[in-house]
Amino acid sequence: MILKRAKKHPELYSKEEINFAKNFKKHLKLEKKHHERKLGDSNPRGGKDDGVRGKSQQPQESRQPKRQWIVKLLHQARSLVGL
């Protein structure tokens, strides 16, 4: 409110008062953001397994190792280029 009023009527407030209001507003904003982040990170269950969540099924076939995947990719690229 002070900042809006100071913008319309700059003669009402000194530069120090305007800077104080800006810094105070910034501080409140950062404090609010920090508080929201702190609440979002908390886990009310404490990481305990209460059996509510289901377990996902993993695929039966194992994934290809990275080396085999890269070799296959290079082979396909080679066949496309015609080297």
Alpha-carbon torsion 9, 1, 29, 31, what sign? positive
How confident is the prediction for the chain on average, in pLDDT? 77
Tokens linked to 23: 């810094």
Cα gap 37→30, rounded to integer Å: 10
Cα gap 34→27, rounded to integer Å: 10
pTM: 0.44
To 10 degrees, the CA torsion angle through 7, 12, 13, 14? 110
* Residue appearing with tokens 């695929």: 59
Of residues 60 and 6, more confidence is placed in: 6
Q: pLDDT tens for residues 44-78? A: 555 555 555 666 666 666 666 677 878 888 888 88
Of 9-13, 14-18, 30-34, 78-82, least confident by mean pLDDT is 78-82
